[in-house]
């Protein structure tokens, strides 16, 4: 059994995936894989430097994430270029991990946490899609607080993704994370019971 987990930036995907992992789900995390392909020595990082130049590098050869973020969240064409360079490798690694999990642990729930699941049209890869939802205002506030961004910077990041209301309307399962953590936990507990997961 697999589920695609998505939502908007800072709506609480990591929070929800941690709750599901604590119950026994296996996690494949697209953001974590996106970081792996940006490590020194990886061909994806080399292609990123080729396109964006040395300005997005730190002097120790690692990626200057903040600088690259500033470029791509302000410019849709550059964001598309970054997606074209990184996404095929991320998708292939996710596919390999999914195949391995389903072969080795077929009774477990496998959870694929993918921020851009709908934007990339990946719905058909998963039996069901769970969306972690908070209203846009809460999303903006939590993003500013967590990442120390101004309202303008946070707004740009939100504009780089499909609107959260639209994602909510497309979901098979909605987890409303706008309340307390305890309220979110209760929804996860109900979901787990409804699915008859052990």
Ligand X SMILES: Nc1ncnc2c1ncn2[C@@H]1O[C@H](COP(=O)(O)OP(=O)(O)OP(=O)(O)O)[C@@H](O)[C@H]1O
Q: DSSP string spanning 150-171?
A: -HHHHHHHHHTS--HHHHHHH-
Of 69 and 115, nearer to ligand X (C-beta) is 115
Q: The tokens 């707004």 sit on which residue?
A: 155
Q: DSSP string spanning 12-68?
A: SHHHHHHHHHHHT-EEEEHHHHHHHTTSTT-HHHHHHHHHH-GGGB-TTSSB-HHHH
Asked if 31 is part of the footprint of ligand X (rule: CB under 6 A), the reply reads yes
Residues of the binding site for ATP: 10-15
Asked if 186 is part of the footprint of ligand X (rule: CB under 6 A), the reply reads no
Of 49 and 155, nearer to ligand X (C-beta) is 155
Asked if 79 is part of the footprint of ligand COD (rule: CB under 6 A), the reply reads yes
Of 26 and 114, nearer to ligand COD (C-beta) is 114
Q: Which does 28 bind (CB under 5 to 8 A by kind): ligand COD, ligand X, none?
A: none
Residues of the binding site: 10-15
> In Å, what is the CA distance from 22 to each residue of 18, 71, 153, 192?
6, 36, 33, 12
Q: Which of residues 129-158 bind ligand COD (CB under 6 A)?
A: none
Q: Which of residues 72-131 bind ligand X (CB under 6 A)?
A: 115
Stretch that binds ligand X, among 8-16, 42-50, 57-65, 78-86 (CB under 6 A): 8-16
Q: Which does 82 bind (CB under 5 to 8 A by kind): ligand COD, ligand X, none?
A: ligand COD
Phi (first) and psi of residue 149, to 5 degrees: -100, 155
d(CA 53, CA 40) in angstroms, rounded, equals 15
Cα–chain-centroid distance for residue 158? Answer: 13
Instruction: Please report, as ranges, the residues that interact with ligand COD according to CB under 6 A.
Output: 9, 30-31, 34, 38, 65, 68-69, 72, 79, 82-83, 86, 90, 115-116, 160-161
């Amino acid at each position: 059994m697999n589920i695609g987990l998505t939502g908007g930036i800072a709506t609480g995907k990591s929070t929800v995936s941690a709750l599901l992992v604590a119950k026994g789900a296996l996690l494949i995390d697209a953001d974590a894989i996106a970081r792996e392909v940006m490590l020194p020595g990886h061909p994806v990082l080399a292609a990123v430097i080729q396109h964006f130049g040395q300005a997005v590098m730190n002097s120790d050869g690692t990626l200057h994430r903040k600088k690259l973020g500033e470029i791509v969240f302000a410019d849709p064409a550059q964001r598309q270029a970054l997606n074209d360079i990184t996404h095929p490798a991320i998708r292939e690694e996710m596919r390999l991990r999914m195949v391995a999990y389903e072969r080795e642990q077929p009774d477990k729930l496998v959870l694929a946490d993918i921020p851009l699941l709908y934007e990339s049209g990946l719905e058909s890869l998963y039996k069901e899609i769970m969306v972690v939802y908070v209203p846009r205002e809460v999303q903006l506030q939590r993003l500013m607080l967590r990442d120390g961004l101004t309202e303008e910077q946070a707004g740009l990041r939100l504009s780089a993704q499909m609107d959260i209301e639209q994602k909510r309307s497309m979901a098979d399962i909605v987890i409303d994370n706008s309340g307390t953590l305890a309220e979110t936990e209760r929804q996860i507990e109900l979901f787990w019971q409804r699915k008859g997961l052990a």
